[in-house]
Structure 1
């Protein structure tokens, strides 16, 4: 199963490299695209859950790295949730 990384920029400008065990992330995020924080969180939840489910279908157990990445994204987003104008930019995919 091809894994990939993607770099995002948080509302404060800080960049973070994220992990996905599947290329499915490209179905939910696009390089160079900026998303409202809530939209970004929804897309990340869907993509990383599907990615984990694919690992489970193939190997018999969910992907703890994908679920951990989702938890990390949700934790990092928390300080920005009260800002209705907060956005996250998907910078680049790394295969």
Structure 2
């Protein structure tokens, strides 16, 4: 199963490299695009849930790394949810 990493910039300027066990993230995020925090969290939740389900379909168990990444994304994004102007930028996809 092809895994990938993607780099995001949070509203405070911090960059983070995130992990997905599947390329499905490319269906939910566009390289160079920025998203309101709540939208980014929703897109990440959908993408990483599908990615984990694909791992489960292939190997018989969900992907704990995808679940952990989603938890980190949600925790990092939560403080910015009150700011309707805050955005998360998807910088790039890495192999």
- Tell me which stretches of 4 or more aligned residues in structure 1 moved more than 2 Å: none
Which deviations, in whole Å up to 9, do the C-alpha atoms of 1:22-50 show, x marking residues without a partner? 00000000100000111100000000000
Secondary structure, aligned partner of 1:2: coil
TM-score, length-scaled by structure 2: 0.99
Instruction: Give me the CA root mean square deviation.
Output: 0.4
Which deviations, in whole Å up to 9, do the C-alpha atoms of 1:33-89 show, x marking residues without a partner? 000111100000000000000000000000000000000000001111110111000
> 2:63 and 2:84 mapped to 1: Cα distance?
32
Residue 52 of structure 1 is matched in structure 2 by 52
Structure 1 unaligned blocks of 5 or more:
none
Structure 2 unaligned blocks of 5 or more:
none
TM-score, length-scaled by structure 1: 0.99
Residue 9 of structure 1 is matched in structure 2 by 9
